[in-house]
Amino acid sequence: MHGSATLVDVLIGLCLLLVATTATAAVFTRDPARQAVVLGMLGLGLALLFTVLQAPDVALSQLGVGTAVTPLLILLTVRRVRRGGDRATPPGPDAGTDDAGAPR
Amino acid sequence: MSRTARVRLFLCAAAVIAVAYTLACTGLPHFGAAVHPYGARAVGATLKQRTANTISSINFDQRAFDTLGEESILLGSVLGVSALLRRTGSEREARPRPVRVLPSTSLFGVLLLPVALLTGVYIVAHGQLSPGGGFQGGVILATALHLAYVAADYRVLRRIRPRELLDTLDAVAAGAFTCLGVAGLVAGAAYLQNVLPLGTFNTLSSGGLVPVINAAVGIEVGSGVIVLLAYFLDQTIGTESGDGGTEPNRPTDRDEDSPCPT
Amino acid sequence: MHVLPYLVSGWILLVGMYGLATSRNLIHAVGCLAVAQSSTYVLLLSIGFRRGGTAPVFSDVPTGSVVVDPVVQALALTDVVVGATVTALLLSLVIQLHKRHSTIDPDQLNGLRG
């Protein structure tokens, strides 16, 4: 058993490390627009891991959701929020940090 | 609470979680273990129901009631988003300007759109046979439609995406799932029990109720995700705030936000 | 190798929660929540993995072959899609919050400004 399963073990280990690294990177990317891209890579890594773990169904839905839908939603939200904050503050990762901004 | 206090609180909580998690993991089966009692029983039940894809059989037959709950969360989220992101009085509809697209991008999109849609339909339809099903196919269908935005512009996307109709379709598909369960009650069995003829193993019509629920879920997920993205796109591109905000659809903005980083 | 999947899953959960606790931008916090959520998929599928097993789909393998545990996969599958719609709901809450308070920094939000 140990001899035949090593290749699969190595593949699973590599995918696990890839997922752990991209997850950490996604958390420490503080700018949400950049984070969306890293989350897309995390989705891709998870899809790879699920494929290696013999779960093609989950990999397929993770591929669609993790690399397309979630990053797209985050990017759209970032754009909406930055546009709304244009009046009061310059756009940036912390757009809308004005204390004087009274509720509309 | 100050930031340092918050981080300290988090570290305490994290230590507790780490200890509890480690203790829980010692009770788990070893990674790659050969004994999976639930899995073995699920596989047996699947083969008895003549469904080739075990996952679909579990989701739409053995644990169909559970999936109905998940579907309700999905429907609830779509409802919540449509309530939160509807256009308010101070916002008015913007007229997205036509955007120039590179001819190669346009050609790519036009060629890929039918292929992607067909892939989505195939994956929904073969849910009970090969990897895939309503959940995955629905997501693929929804994202495939947005190739129209990549290939052309928002006006084209809005024309091929009747949001009101899809809104209704989403609710109807969710209702259809609920009603399909009644078939079991009519036949004198339990709610959502698989009472349709099971067909021949590994053919398109096998699995009884599974392909029907699968199709309903595919329609619900597909239309639900399209509606979700429609509300977000409308907020971003199709609306301008009434107090004279900037022109929302600057052509230069399209590159950084173009969808589908696949 | 025996503990690596469980270690990685626990690490993803904790790192996602750390991001959630220290986030200064609610959109970033929603992204961190998505990261923390993915740890459950890793854990579930690792529990279900079986050495030498194939995917639990019998359309092209004989019905007697050894397969991995399909129950955990079914659990993870529905959650992937439903989780994305819940992410959308949270993001729409962020948009609404920004409309009312013109900030999405959790430290700038306080109850008196409601």
- Is the pLDDT at B215 greater than 60, yes or no? yes
Torsion of CA C69, C72, C74, C75, to 10 degrees: 170
Residues in chain B within 8 Å Cβ distance of A104? 90
Q: How far apart are CA C101 and CA C93, in angstroms?
A: 12
- Is the pLDDT at A93 greater than 60, yes or no? no
The pLDDT, as a whole number, for residue A15 is 95
Q: How far apart are CA A84 and CA B248, in angstroms?
A: 10
- Is the pLDDT at A95 greater than 90, yes or no? no
Which of A13, A53, A74 is facing C91, going by the closest CB pair? A74
CB B260 within 8 A of CB B146: yes
Radius of gyration of chain C, Cα coordinates, nearest whole angstrom: 19
Three-state secondary structure call for residue B118: helix
The pLDDT, as a whole number, for residue A102 is 36
Find the mean pLDDT for residues C85-102: 92
> pLDDT of B145-175, one tens digit each?
988 888 888 888 888 888 889 989 999 999 9
Question: Hey, which bits of B69-187 come out as E strands?
Answer: 91-93
Interface of B with C in 142-201 (CB under 8 A): none
> pLDDT of C39-71, one tens digit each?
999 999 999 999 888 899 888 888 888 899 999
Torsion of CA B155, B160, B166, B167, to 10 degrees: 10
Residues in chain B within 8 Å Cβ distance of A30? none
Q: How far apart are CA A54 and CA C46, in angstroms?
A: 10
- Is the pLDDT at B226 greater than 80, yes or no? yes
The pLDDT, as a whole number, for residue A4 is 53
Which residue type does B198 have?
L
Average pLDDT, chain A: 81
Q: What are the φ and ψ backbone dihedral angles of B74, each rounded to 5 degrees?
A: -60, -50
The pLDDT, as a whole number, for residue B169 is 92
Q: What is the DSSP string of C11-55?
A: HHHHHHHHHHHH-SSHHHHHHHHHHHHHHHHHHHHHHH-BTT-B-
- Is the pLDDT at A100 greater than 80, yes or no? no
CB B194 within 8 A of CB B202: no
Residue in C closest to A97 by C-alpha = C103
Interface of C with A in 20-49 (CB under 8 A): 23-25, 27-28, 30-32, 34-35, 38-39, 41-42, 45-46, 48-49
Q: Do C82 and B73 touch (CB under 8 A)?
A: yes
Interface check for A68 against chain C (CB to CB < 8 A): the answer is no
The pLDDT, as a whole number, for residue B74 is 94
Residues paired with C67 in a beta bridge: C54
How far apart, in Å, are the Cα atoms of B26 and each of B54, C8, C44? 29, 15, 15
Three-state secondary structure call for residue C87: helix
- Is the pLDDT at C104 greater than 90, yes or no? no
The pLDDT, as a whole number, for residue C113 is 53
Q: How far apart are CA B27 and CA C4, in angstroms?
A: 15
What's the gap between Cα B257 and its chain centre? Answer: 21
- Is the pLDDT at C10 greater than 60, yes or no? yes
Per-residue pLDDT band for A5 (boundaries 50, 70, 90) equals low
Per-residue pLDDT band for C109 (boundaries 50, 70, 90) equals confident
Q: What is the DSSP string of B23-58?
A: HHHHTSPPTB-S--HHHHHHHHHHHHTT-SBHHHHI
On the CB side of B129, CA atoms within 13 Å amount to: 15
Per-residue pLDDT band for C111 (boundaries 50, 70, 90) equals low
The pLDDT, as a whole number, for residue B14 is 95
- Is the pLDDT at C72 greater than 50, yes or no? yes
The pLDDT, as a whole number, for residue B223 is 94
The pLDDT, as a whole number, for residue B205 is 79
Task: Work out the number of other CB atoms within 10 angstroms of the CB of residue C86.
Answer: 19
Q: How far apart are CA B159 and CA A83, in angstroms?
A: 25
Element spanning A102, H or E:
none
- Is the pLDDT at A21 greater than 90, yes or no? yes
Average pLDDT, chain C: 90
Q: Do A61 and C102 touch (CB under 8 A)?
A: no
